[in-house]
């Protein structure tokens, strides 16, 4: 099997890179072991919410200049704003409907009902210009009876602290009651699946509508539209007033849909997506990757002109922590990590954790470094990279998408 580019990892970074390449006529394969961080997504894409010193960021594009030299955004440099706009248009072009601008963070709701800054918010959710937008509103918070991953009391407390008046109700249907027979079945994607037949959704919406006369806005868990946006559009038209969806605890329905939509877009453009296969090793010749080998294909090597490492962080096993080291398991690339294990973490749970910044070392073009030398045809993109803390800085999706687009352009120019 021979491709122009093989991308290892089919999460947000791998698919973003693959779609840009494939759209420009570069023949790509994405090999992906399994689920990605998108399956657990909040429904928002962060670009930059905080600087390393903890100060808040209002304008990510301006604030990026103040980041440390190792941060992936520093390699993208002045093109950051350009790639942020490209990332947004690519998402929308593929069918992931998002709102937001790289020049000004807005707020999104968390599963606890609090507001958090972000860059792009999926159209499922409401993006708030500031923390006062709820003041004076009458909110009906509706849960599906027995669904524990949507905490109505926390959400009501949080909204009331911002000046809203809240009422909580629970609704049920025979289809959702069936899920309750086994508590482990009562998860967001299973509820979304149960609500897929239009007759079931219509019955639920009629129940909600009959109880929502008092409210200005109906607040619901994000359990609509597992594979496309049609159930959301239908829900909004039936309820006939403002609907505010709140992300649930994972798994995430909008995140799973985004993964599916991006994968479909990539395949529509002619890309090959190999799901459930894992790249195990590679042949290295004269400072270049000559072939890679996967679990499913055994000794049959897969060849390409270029390779992109987009295997994610610890969560997806793109980085593996051993007792005394952190390694990148496929190519054995150099990983930037603190040599003293005690410096990996802070025993205070909410403090900045050192291990979050560990990752694969690259040169200025995001070519992965092994034994101190950049490999000529292996690029790295996304959360496998070193030099940033997605949690503390709120820049996870931004790093994944922007580094992936940057790498795609480097490959095309090269």
Ligand X SMILES: Cc1cc2nc3c(=O)[nH]c(=O)nc-3n(C[C@H](O)[C@H](O)[C@H](O)COP(=O)(O)OP(=O)(O)OC[C@H]3O[C@@H](n4cnc5c(N)ncnc54)[C@H](O)[C@@H]3O)c2cc1C
Q: Is 392 in the site for ligand X (CB under 6 A)?
A: no
Nearer residue to ligand X within complex by CB, 204 or 222: 222
Q: Is 390 in the site for ligand X (CB under 6 A)?
A: yes
| Among residues 45, 83, 107, 406, the one that binds ligand X under rule CB under 6 A | 45
Nearer residue to ligand X within complex by CB, 177 or 295: 295
Q: Which range in 2-10, 127-135, 150-158, 203-211 contacts ligand X by CB under 6 A?
A: 2-10
| Among residues 400, 405, 406, 408, the one that binds ligand X under rule CB under 6 A | 400
| Among residues 317, 341, 352, 410, the one that binds ligand X under rule CB under 6 A | 317
| Among residues 121, 158, 248, 311, the one that binds ligand X under rule CB under 6 A | 311
Size of the site for ligand X (CB under 6 A): 36
Q: Is 383 in the site for ligand X (CB under 6 A)?
A: yes
| Among residues 6, 21, 26, 33, the one that binds ligand X under rule CB under 6 A | 33
| Among residues 239, 397, 402, 411, the one that binds ligand X under rule CB under 6 A | 397
Q: Which range in 38-46, 142-150, 179-187, 201-209 contacts ligand X by CB under 6 A?
A: 38-46
Q: Is 353 in the site for ligand X (CB under 6 A)?
A: no
**Three-state secondary structure readout of the chain:** CEEEEEEECCCHHHHHHHHHHHHCCCCEEEEECCCCHHHHCCCEECCCCECCCCCECCCHHHHHHHCCCCCHHHHHHHHHHHHHHHHHHHHHHHCCCEECECCECEEEECCCCCEEEECEEECCECCECCCCCCCCCEEEEEEECCCCCCCHHHHHHHHHHCCCEEEEEEECCHHHHHHHCCHHHCCHHHHHHHCCCHHHHHHHHHHHHHCCCCCCEEEEECCCCCCCCHHHHHHHHHHCCEEEEECCCCCCHHHHHHHHHHHHHHHHCCCEEEECCCEEEEEEECCEEEEEEECCCCCCCEEEEEEEECCCCHHHCCCEECCCCEECCCCCCCEECCCCHHHCCCCCCCCCCHHHHCEECECCCCEEEECCEEEEEEEECHHHECCCCHHHHCCHHHHHHHHHHHHHHHHHHC
Q: Is 12 in the site for ligand X (CB under 6 A)?
A: yes
Q: Is 117 in the site for ligand X (CB under 6 A)?
A: no
Q: Which range in 136-144, 164-172, 225-233, 382-390 contacts ligand X by CB under 6 A?
A: 382-390
Q: Is 40 in the site for ligand X (CB under 6 A)?
A: yes
Residue ranges in contact with ligand X by CB under 6 A: 8-14, 31-34, 36-38, 40-42, 44-46, 278-279, 310-312, 315-318, 330, 382-383, 390, 396-397, 400
């Amino acid at each position: 099997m021979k491709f122009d580019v093989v991308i290892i990892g089919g999460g947000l970074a791998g698919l973003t890179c693959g779609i840009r390449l494939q759209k420009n006529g570069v023949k790509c394969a994405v090999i992906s072991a399994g689920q990605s961080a998108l399956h657990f997504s909040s429904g928002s894409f962060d670009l930059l919410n905080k600087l390393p010193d903890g100060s808040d960021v209002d304008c990510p594009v301006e604030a990026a200049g103040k980041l440390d030299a190792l941060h992936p955004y520093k390699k993208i440099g002045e093109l950051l704003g350009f790639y942020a706009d490209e990332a947004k248009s690519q998402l929308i072009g593929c069918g992931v409907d998002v709102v937001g601008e790289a020049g000004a963070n807005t707020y999104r709701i968390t599963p606890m009902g609090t507001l958090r800054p972000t860059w792009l918010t999926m159209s499922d959710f409401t993006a708030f210009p500031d923390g006062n937008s709820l003041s004076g509103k009458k909110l009906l918070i509706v849960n599906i009876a027995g669904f524990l991953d949507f905490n109505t009391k926390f959400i009501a407390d949080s909204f009331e602290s911002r000046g809203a008046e809240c009422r909580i109700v629970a609704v049920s249907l025979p289809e959702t009651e069936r899920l309750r027979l086994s508590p482990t079945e009562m998860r967001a994607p299973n509820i979304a699946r149960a609500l897929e037949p239009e007759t079931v959704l219509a019955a639920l919406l009629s129940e909600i509508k009959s109880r929502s006369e008092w409210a200005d806005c109906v607040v619901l868990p994000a359990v609509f539209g597992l594979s496309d946006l049609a159930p959301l559009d239908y829900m909004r038209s039936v309820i006939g007033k403002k609907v505010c969806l709140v992300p649930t605890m994972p798994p995430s329905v909008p995140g799973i849909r985004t993964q599916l939509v991006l994968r479909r877009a990539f395949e529509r453009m002619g890309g090959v997506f190999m799901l459930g296969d894992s790249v195990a090793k590679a042949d290295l010749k004269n400072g270049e990757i000559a072939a890679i080998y996967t679990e499913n294909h055994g000794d049959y090597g897969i060849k390409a002109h270029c390779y992109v490492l987009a295997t994610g962080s610890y969560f997806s096993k793109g980085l593996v922590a051993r007792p005394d080291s952190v390694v990148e398991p496929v190519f054995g690339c150099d990983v930037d990590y603190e040599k003293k294990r005690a410096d990996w973490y802070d025993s205070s749970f909410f403090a900045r954790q050192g291990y979050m910044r560990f990752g694969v070392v690259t040169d200025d073009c995001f070519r992965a470094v092994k034994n101190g030398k950049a490999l000529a045809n292996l690029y790295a993109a996304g959360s496998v990279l070193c030099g940033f803390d997605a949690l503390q800085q709120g820049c996870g999706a931004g790093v994944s998408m922007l580094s992936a687009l940057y790498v795609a352009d480097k490959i095309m120019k090269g």
